[in-house]
Structure 1
Amino acid sequence: MPERPYTYYDFTLSLCPHCLRRVEAKIVFEDGGVYMLKRCLTHGRQKVLIATDVEYYKSIRNYVKPSETPRRFNTATHYGCPYDCGLCTDHEQHSCLTVIEITDRCNLTCPTCYAESSPTHGRHRTLEEVEAMVDVLVANEGEPDVVQISGGEPTLHPQFWEILDMCKRKPIKHLMVNTNGVRLAKDEAFVARLATYVPAFEVYLQFDSFRKEVLETMRGRDLRDVRLQALEHLNKYNLSTTLVVTLQKGLNHDEIGEIIDFALKQRCVRGVTFQPTQAAGRLDHFNPETDRFSLTEVRQEILRQSPLFTAADLLPVPCNPDALVMGYALKLGGEVFPLTRYIQPAELLQNSGNTIVYEHDPRLRNHLLRLFSTANTVDTVTPELNQLLCCLPMVQAPNLRYENLFRVIILQFMDAWNFDVRAVKKSCVHIVSKDLKIIPFETMNIFYRDAEKVARLQELRDISVL
């Protein structure tokens, strides 16, 4: 009997990338890749590469854990995912990280910008509006894990400091500021004042490339000196910083290892987050059919370019394994030790154990025995890292500080091309909208960001109930 050219693996719901109608999709394996096959009544058949590592893709289902839901939901489920966001009662994950956009304005007009920000776009939110956004989140979460103040460029807001003070009065565990670094480079006093908000405070610094032509393509400007000056100020005050890298295939994906090496040498940097470009918003130099860079491709490039990590170090994050990969390392005694490989898988899923095994690395053992308050045997320690290691076992290590931690995260925000309803239901990175709804990052940028998109959404809702 004749055979199809692929192996059928699974089924899901996706979107047509052209009209955004909900469509059925097959997940198939073909020629070493994972593809989504879908068909729109208007735009025909579509084939989208969603992963380049079949075995890793199959393994992510082994990392699924019970959902952690918010204290309350905000919208009813009527039209079906993804047309009910808010969070709707059918959403499966609470807000691990929530973005509060305090302004639409920016001092750059980046050719790549999901929010389409610019010096003239939109407006600043009032302090009262921002507090209402934060209060909605607190009502949902009780004590939000991570709140990221963003924009636009949030450091432009005329009440920026009042907003940070207000957030610090709220029961927020960890506060971040998302910035392009221009203000931080120009104004050391600004960085010094930011440093007064520690602990539980961090800078999320845009850092895409070391190359002039890449920055001009993605950001419209050569920002190399800006980035280095900003980091000089951040290092001076040892202000915890994550470098966030937007990746595009053929543009900057070959710089991954160099960026990791650079980050490890910075006193203030606690890790690097790699984000493949989401096909949403302003994309002047991006073709979603040819320039896409999948999560597995990023993972493969980290393994190829960075000698620090092995496949055992870059694991799916259990709250949303389709979209998140994590790898942790410890910086101890001038050396860097990958940590994730020593976590027992059962403990990773339960997040209730407290055992880290490092039997094959006596150097790490000796460092940890000095740091951890309790050591059970030569091969096992029982630590607690004060909730700094997301999704890893709790550990007790009073002498271990945040500056000893280094993390690499891959964060893939789906768009209409690779949209998978199974994954979006577990999205844990959310945005509080202007109308005080809490919306997954992915669907916010596809459906809810502006009036034009919301109008199209209503048309799709009407179609869905016919």
Structure 2
Amino acid sequence: MPKNRPYLFYELTNSICSTCLRKVEAKVIIQDDNVYLHKHCFTHGPEKVLISTDVEYYKRCREFIKPSEMPLQWNTPIKYGCPYDCGLCPDHEQHSCLTLVEVIERCNLACPICYAESSPHQEMIRSLEEIDRMLDAVVRNEGEPDIVQISGGEPTIHPQFFEILDLAKSKPIKHLMLNTNGIRIAQDREFVKRLATYMPGFEIYLQFDSFEESALRELRGADLREIRKKAIEHLNEFNISTTLVVTLKKGLNDHEVGEIIQYGMKQKAVRGVTFQPIQAAGRLEEFDPATDRLTLSEVRQMIIDQSGVFKPEDIIPVPCHPDCLAMGYALKLGDQVMPLTGLIDPNILLEGGRNTIVFERDETLKDRIFELFATNLSPSSQALSLQSLLCCLPMVTVPEGIGYDNVFRVLIMQFLDPHNFDVRSVKKSCVHIVHPDGRIIPFDTYNMFYRGDKEAQLEALRRGEDITVL
């Protein structure tokens, strides 16, 4: 009698060896109710990496795929094959939903975990001319970019910070974000007052990892509890749209997922929470990828178990990159929060909004939700308006009768690294970084191959030389 393997072979893809970064074949297998990436490097041997703890959700992601949206132009040719041709090369399968423009490498923190390896010791501060060229590169690719995020380093310490915002606002960008640790926002009320003048279409992407000193010291190297409290006070005062951004490390701050969501829902300015499991990139002190990493499915289950608001049907894959992005939307009506995503037929997201809202879970919600809409809107236009809300990332356009203040979202944003890297998945990446030379590169591959001196390492790989990642 033939002996069965102890797993189900689900699909085949390509990955990279986490030691030498060479492309290797990889099997996706289902074993013991988990999903693993099993790969073999002929030099460094086998690797088995956990990529999902929810088999059914992993399979469901294959159903949340929409036709790829392309940029207006490509930036590099196909020469070496993915992921060595970024980008964006014609083999990529998604335009830029969100593009980061890094304006400075210096930071007023030296976080033990930082994908960009920023610190007070870094010197690079980009000129307005260089930043202008980088913004123009995004516009050339996108026409009217959905979201551009001013990032760093810590962008608020750039000596020409407000000139950068003015420059970005002069471009045809639909939604502008500021990625910040919140220190200047906490310490300078007049600075925040001036930020409010950039509303609407402007949002703060605020680092907010924990309520506990020990977790903050391990992740950020400092006790930032009072800084976070004061920053939120200032943002609430001027009602500046804010997303709380939580870097999650297994066993450190993952028990706070629900508490942070509940806290965010009570803040006037907070429009949602984004959870980002640690990517094995950049500076990683006290981090073991074998024991400290979290999968998207684990974070999704934490939201369901801890939030007291979202049910499994409320946290769904994002169609443009379902492997690495999951989202849930809710409406805030005074003290009441009503999950919204589970009420929407998925075909609205996948087929252009031809279907209307379904209210199978709670028929009584129907009247409450439609009270928020203008009475002269037809059901079809209501559905189409909701479609503009239920995109993969926050948008400015909202339905008539409802303000952006009423929307609350949770987003899980998992980035690929040399351990869980999947070529099939990275081709769908829609979060990109602008290289100073104008290339638009997926966040995942930028941190592995294209940041700073890593490009020299990549060139060695392209020449067929052996390298070892430290």
Q: Which amino acid aligns with 2:139?
A: V
Q: 1:366 to 1:221 in 2, by over 3 A?
A: same
Give the match for residue 154 of structure 1: 155
Give the match for residue 210 of structure 1: 211
Q: Which amino acid aligns with 2:344?
A: I
Structure 1 SS opposite 2:69: coil
Structure 2 SS opposite 1:23: strand
Give the match for residue 435 of structure 2: 433
Q: 1:396 to 1:199 in 2, by over 3 A?
A: closer
Q: Which amino acid aligns with 1:134?
A: L
Count of aligned positions: 462
1:335-383 deviation per Cα after TM superposition (whole angstroms, max 9, x unaligned): 1100000111212211333622235435432223322125789999646
Give the match for residue 443 of structure 1: 445
Taking the aligned partners of 2:433 and 2:381, their CA distance within structure 1 comes to: 40
Q: Is contact 1:216-1:222 (8 Å) kept?
A: yes
Q: Which amino acid aligns with 1:446?
A: M
Q: Which amino acid aligns with 2:415?
A: F
Taking the aligned partners of 2:392 and 2:234, their CA distance within structure 1 comes to: 31
1:410 equivalenced with 2:419 (yes/no): no
> What does 1:321-332 align with in structure 2 at a 5 Å threshold?
321-332=322-333
Structure 1: gaps (5+ residues) = none
Taking the aligned partners of 1:371 and 1:336, their CA distance within structure 2 comes to: 14
Q: Is contact 1:191-1:233 (8 Å) kept?
A: yes
Give the match for residue 310 of structure 2: 309
Q: How far 1:55 sits from its partner (Å)?
A: 0.8
Q: Which amino acid aligns with 2:170?
A: R
Q: How far 1:385 sits from its partner (Å)?
A: 4.8
Taking the aligned partners of 1:97 and 1:401, their CA distance within structure 2 comes to: 22
1:222-261 deviation per Cα after TM superposition (whole angstroms, max 9, x unaligned): 0000001000000000100000000010111111001000
> What does 1:63-78 align with in structure 2 at a 5 Å threshold?
63-78=64-79
Give the match for residue 459 of structure 1: 460
Taking the aligned partners of 2:120 and 2:416, their CA distance within structure 1 comes to: 27
Q: How far 1:397 sits from its partner (Å)?
A: 3.2
Q: Which amino acid aligns with 2:197?
A: T
Q: Is contact 1:354-1:384 (8 Å) kept?
A: no
> What does 1:202-351 align with in structure 2 at a 5 Å threshold?
202-351=203-352
Structure 1 SS opposite 2:388: coil
Q: Is contact 1:374-1:381 (8 Å) kept?
A: no
1:102 equivalenced with 2:74 (yes/no): no
Taking the aligned partners of 1:200 and 1:339, their CA distance within structure 2 comes to: 22
TM-score normalised to structure 1 length: 0.96
Q: Is contact 2:261-2:273 (8 Å) kept?
A: yes
Taking the aligned partners of 1:340 and 1:205, their CA distance within structure 2 comes to: 24
Taking the aligned partners of 2:315 and 2:70, their CA distance within structure 1 comes to: 26
Give the match for residue 468 of structure 2: none
Give the match for residue 182 of structure 1: 183
> What does 1:164-179 align with in structure 2 at a 5 Å threshold?
164-179=165-180
Taking the aligned partners of 1:216 and 1:91, their CA distance within structure 2 comes to: 38
Give the match for residue 80 of structure 1: 81
1:190-211 deviation per Cα after TM superposition (whole angstroms, max 9, x unaligned): 1110000000000000000000
1:112 equivalenced with 2:109 (yes/no): no
Give the match for residue 136 of structure 2: 135
Q: 1:382 to 1:347 in 2, by over 3 A?
A: closer
Deviates more, 1:35-44 or 1:76-85: 35-44
Taking the aligned partners of 2:308 and 2:437, their CA distance within structure 1 comes to: 46
Taking the aligned partners of 2:98 and 2:116, their CA distance within structure 1 comes to: 18
Taking the aligned partners of 2:380 and 2:370, their CA distance within structure 1 comes to: 10
Give the match for residue 423 of structure 1: 425
Structure 2 SS opposite 1:356: coil
Taking the aligned partners of 2:250 and 2:211, their CA distance within structure 1 comes to: 16
Give the match for residue 356 of structure 1: 357
Structure 2 SS opposite 1:303: helix
1:422-465 deviation per Cα after TM superposition (whole angstroms, max 9, x unaligned): 110010000001222100000000000012x111111211229x
Q: Which amino acid aligns with 2:431?
A: V
Give the match for residue 11 of structure 1: 12
Q: How far 1:396 sits from its partner (Å)?
A: 7.4
Structure 2 SS opposite 1:289: helix
1:52-82 deviation per Cα after TM superposition (whole angstroms, max 9, x unaligned): 0111101100011100000010100010000
Q: Is contact 1:373-1:383 (8 Å) kept?
A: no
Give the match for residue 122 of structure 2: 121
Q: Is contact 1:375-1:381 (8 Å) kept?
A: no
Give the match for residue 42 of structure 2: 41
Identity of aligned residues (%): 60
Q: Is contact 1:107-1:118 (8 Å) kept?
A: yes
Taking the aligned partners of 2:32 and 2:361, their CA distance within structure 1 comes to: 36
Deviating 4+ runs (over 6 angstroms): 375-380
Q: Is contact 2:398-2:404 (8 Å) kept?
A: no
Taking the aligned partners of 1:298 and 1:359, their CA distance within structure 2 comes to: 26
Taking the aligned partners of 1:221 and 1:176, their CA distance within structure 2 comes to: 25
Structure 1 SS opposite 2:432: strand
Taking the aligned partners of 2:173 and 2:95, their CA distance within structure 1 comes to: 15
Q: 1:129 to 1:10 in 2, by over 3 A?
A: same
Q: 1:165 to 1:386 in 2, by over 3 A?
A: farther
Q: Which amino acid aligns with 2:82?
A: C
Q: Which amino acid aligns with 1:181?
A: G
Taking the aligned partners of 1:150 and 1:108, their CA distance within structure 2 comes to: 14
TM-score normalised to structure 2 length: 0.95
Q: Which amino acid aligns with 2:211?
A: F
Q: Which amino acid aligns with 1:56?
A: Y
Taking the aligned partners of 1:388 and 1:165, their CA distance within structure 2 comes to: 26
Q: Is contact 1:112-1:283 (8 Å) kept?
A: yes
Q: Which amino acid aligns with 1:406?
A: F
Structure 2: gaps (5+ residues) = 466-470
1:108-128 deviation per Cα after TM superposition (whole angstroms, max 9, x unaligned): 000000000001113110000
